[in-house]
């Protein structure tokens, strides 16, 4: 059996976050909400995210500061982390359980009575 695993960094722009002074650019700049996390996988199905970080970043230089994750999720009405990245591990466990259930129920040699 061939087993794959790995991880990748996911980076998403979550929309504008107003204008204010940027200490790096030393002037007024637009800012945007930014999400970054690392998603790990086994067989591409068992997935789980780590290091989920939200930040407000300058749209010119990228300078940013962490922002409250709860507030960002409340503003968006849902988590911006992809569903498959959050619950892929659960889907993988369900697939393995379904396989074993199928294997038990389709036993070609049922016990003799
Ligand atoms: Zn800047």
Q: What is the pLDDT of residues 36-59, one digit of tens each?
A: 999 999 988 899 999 999 999 999
Q: Distance from the CA of 25 to the center of ligand 1, in angstroms?
A: 4
Q: Is residue 10 part of a domain?
A: yes
For residue 101, CA distances in Å to 22, 30, 31, 93, 109 come to: 58, 55, 51, 12, 15
SS3 of residue 68 by DSSP: coil
pTM for this model (two decimals): 0.80
Give 112 Cα–ligand 1 centroid separation in angstroms.
76
Range of the structural domain that residue 34 is part of: 5-105
- What spacing in Å lies between the alpha carbon of 19 and ligand 1's midpoint? 11
Rg (CA), the chain: 22
pLDDT of residue 13: 96
CA triple 49-7-34, angle to 5 deg: 55
DSSP 3-state assignment of 48? strand
- Structure-block tokens of residue 86: 């959050």
In a domain, 84, yes or no: yes
Instruction: Report yes or no on 110 lying in a domain.
Output: no
Residue 13 lies in a domain: yes
46's tokens: 């068992």
- Number of structural domains, the chain? 1
| CA 22 to centroid of ligand 1, rounded, Å | 5
């Amino acid at each position: 059996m061939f087993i794959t695993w790995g991880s990748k960094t996911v980076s998403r722009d979550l929309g504008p976050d107003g204008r204010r002074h940027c200490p790096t650019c030393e002037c007024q700049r637009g800012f945007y909400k930014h999400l970054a996390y690392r998603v790990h996988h086994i067989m591409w199905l068992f997935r789980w995210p780590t290091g989920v970080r939200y930040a407000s970043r300058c749209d010119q230089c990228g300078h940013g500061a962490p922002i409250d994750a709860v507030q960002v999720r409340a503003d968006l009405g849902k988590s911006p982390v992809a569903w498959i990245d959050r619950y892929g591990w659960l889907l993988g466990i369900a697939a393995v359980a379904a396989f074993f259930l199928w294997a038990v129920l389709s036993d070609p040699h049922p016990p003799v009575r």
